[in-house]
Amino acid sequence: MTFAELLPRLQGRLHWRLFICNLKLAMNRGLLKPADIQKIFQLQPDPTILESDSHSLLGNLQRQIHDPRLQLLLRHPLPDLPAEFQDGITTVINADDREYYVHPNDFSGHDFDLPGRAVRRFKSTAQTREFFWVAPRALFELAIQEFHAQQDPTTDVKRTDTAKEEGGPMDDRRLAIADRIRDLLGLVHHGRKVQLMAISLRVPAAQRTCLPTVIEALPNLRFLQSHSKPPPGTGCGYTVDLQKLETQALGEAIAGAPELVMERVLLRDCDEVEVVTLGVTRKDRATLRASRRFLDQMEYILRLKFSEVLDEFLALVQPSGSRT
């Protein structure tokens, strides 16, 4: 059974609806051709994954698309690294992973519920993932500055153990920075009570950089493929600002940070590397309501209902005799 044959059964799953809409946006922008879509849906899912587990199916689909043995690497290299991305902030990591990047003693005694600790040393073997997401560091720093500016210094906030446990008010208002950066970067898979860290770095000028599509974002679907058509070899993807998604009206801007995908790099080949603690998240943005709001926004951008997009894809990926 192929993904094309599964598609009619999965059309009621929000994950798959969002995926299909983002594929359509990529087609509209010329990043994916109809032939690419056909190749994607002719892949066969891992038979050990239940059909009902749409999240795992999407993750399995991403791994297959990016398996070099299949020669289906739908990546779009940029000829040059855009200047705004040279100083970047890369994927936020769980604090539990810190020992992969830095020496344990560098954060000795630090409470990872608190932000603000930074180290510039790292292990000589430390490297990023095979392909990793990068947003401009300047935007990251601006978000933190704006966050501080929005806080009311006259508010009397007391820290208590109960408040810390329940995600309530803390005496250190910086504690909400983890939520703000998580929201800005659209990292919906980081829920509540996750201790986060960020790695900022200046990558080599010759670093291979790619324009992302939703395929890179799988199975996290809070990705907003830019729907404008930039000149060839330019442009970027956009995160979905999770805070804006919950508050903005239909059609209002929900884009967060511009982002690109880069090939793996050793930290020792980069300049100005800094590993920073962001504190602990207090809110969970991965709600059914938020997913539905995002689907509404996607349909608005496409000027199409999902049913119309689905009909187009079914006609594209299934033989006429097999459609229902």
Lowest mean pLDDT among 118-127, 184-193, 223-232: 223-232
pLDDT at 288 over 80: yes
pLDDT at 160 over 50: no
Q: For the segment 71-110, what is each residue's pLDDT rounded down to a tens digit?
A: 666 778 888 888 888 899 886 777 778 888 888 788 888 8
Q: For the segment 105-139, what is each residue's pLDDT rounded down to a tens digit?
A: 888 888 888 888 888 988 989 998 888 899 998 88
| 3-state DSSP of the chain | CCHHHHHHHHCCCHHHHHHHHHHHHHHHHCCCCHHHHHHHHCCCCCCCCCCCCHHHHHHHHHHHHCCHHHCCCCCCECCCCCHHHCEEEEEEEEHHHHHHHCCHHHHCCCCCCCEEEEECCCCCCCECCCEEEEEEHHHHHHHHHHHHHHCCCCCCCCCCHHHHHHCCCCCCHHHHHHHHHHHHCCCCCCCCCCEEEEEEEECCCCCCEECCCHHHHCCCCCEECCCCCCCCCCCCEEEECHHHHHHCCCCCCCEEEEEEEEECCEHHHCEEEEEEEEEECCCCCCCHHHHHHHHHHHHHHHCCCHHHHHHHHHHHHCCHHHCC
Please give the share of the chain, as a percent, with pLDDT higher than 70: 85
Whole-number pLDDT of residue 91: 65
